[in-house]
Amino acid sequence: MATIDHVTLRVTDLDVALRLFTQIFELLAFGGTRFDGGGFHEWNDFSIAAADEGHPRTSGVHIGFAASSPSEVDRWWEAMTRAGHPDDGPPGRRSQYGPTYYGAFIRDADDNSLEAVHHETADATTGVIDHLWIRVAELAPAKRFYTAVADATGARSRDRGDGLQVITESGTFSVLEGRPTQNLHLAIGVGDEAAVRAFHRVGLEAGGRDNGGPGERPEYHHGYYGAYLLDPDGNNVESVWHNRS
């Protein structure tokens, strides 16, 4: 089964974004350890990196981070808005997403929507990515691409008419029509090299553009085997297998 291995946002001001996401994860009682590298910071399955000439800022994505309870969602939103982060939706139930869905929303400095969310099927680990929403210019080609890569990586896809939901072992991501998400990096974790190669081959056939063929990336760690495609809106989608043997 596939996972959301990691998501990276390119940010205009790395120091500002670091303060924002440090507060986000502290309020969600994230139990992992932040890793700091050259020009990036990583919390488990989520990272931020400095935008530059070759890597423009990420904008227009929605990310929901898992909270342990509705009261934790309340405290998160109250603290974040009190700190000056723009409100994008107060705490409350959103029955359109599920009978137990409870979330609250803010926006970051690069026009991304960030949420703390609790529902009965959420990951029990707080702070990890519960879901993404990716906006696209045209739904039909995006559905074709993401349905193909979901099948190739072992994820499940569900066509909801006005969007496509891809369900992985560690969270979901949905593709919806609207003002397009730009410069997002989404990596789908898989269980072997064959799945990485299938992702790349099938994604090309379904309208993706090559952004790096299957192969070892030892600069990340020994046994890192990945492949990269640009989706129909130009976002960088990866399939990766971490061979730790």
Burial of 97 (0-12, 13-18, 19+ CB in 10 A): middle
Which residues touch 2 (CB under 8 Å, ≥6 apart)? 150, 153, 154, 155, 168, 169, 188, 189, 190, 195
Q: What is the pLDDT of residues 113-130, one digit of tens each?
A: 999 999 987 666 777 999
Q: Please give the pLDDT value at position 245.
A: 77
Q: What is the pLDDT of residues 190-205, one digit of tens each?
A: 999 999 999 999 999 9
Q: Please give the pLDDT value at position 122.
A: 66
Question: Which pTM was predicted?
Answer: 0.95
Which residues touch 140 (CB under 8 Å, ≥6 apart)? none
Nearest one of 62, 94, 90, 8 to 176, comparing CA atoms: 62
Which domains can be identified in the chain, with CATH numbers? 3-242 (3.10.180.10)
Other C-beta atoms closer than 10 Å to the C-beta of 28 total 22
Nearest-angstrom CA–CA distance, 111 and 60: 6
Q: Please give the pLDDT value at position 124.
A: 65
Nearest-angstrom CA–CA distance, 18 and 9: 12
154: left (phi over 0), alpha (psi -120 to 50) or beta: left
Other C-beta atoms closer than 10 Å to the C-beta of 243 total 13
Indicate the Cα dihedral angle 4, 208, 235, 186, nearest 10°.
Answer: 10
Q: Please give the pLDDT value at position 244.
A: 81
Q: Please give the pLDDT value at position 236.
A: 98
Question: pLDDT tens digits, the chain, 245 residues: what are they?
Answer: 899 999 999 999 999 999 999 999 999 988 888 999 989 999 999 999 999 999 999 999 999 999 999 999 999 999 999 999 999 999 999 999 999 999 999 999 999 999 999 998 766 677 799 999 999 999 999 999 999 999 999 999 999 999 999 999 999 999 999 999 999 999 999 999 999 999 999 999 999 999 999 999 999 999 999 999 999 999 999 999 999 87
* Alpha helix ranges (H) inside 59-178: 70-82, 139-153
DSSP string, 187-233: EEE-SSHHHHHHHHHHHHHTT-EEEEEEEE-TTT-TTEEEEEEE-TT
Residues making up the chain, counted from first to last: 245
Q: Please give the pLDDT value at position 38.
A: 87
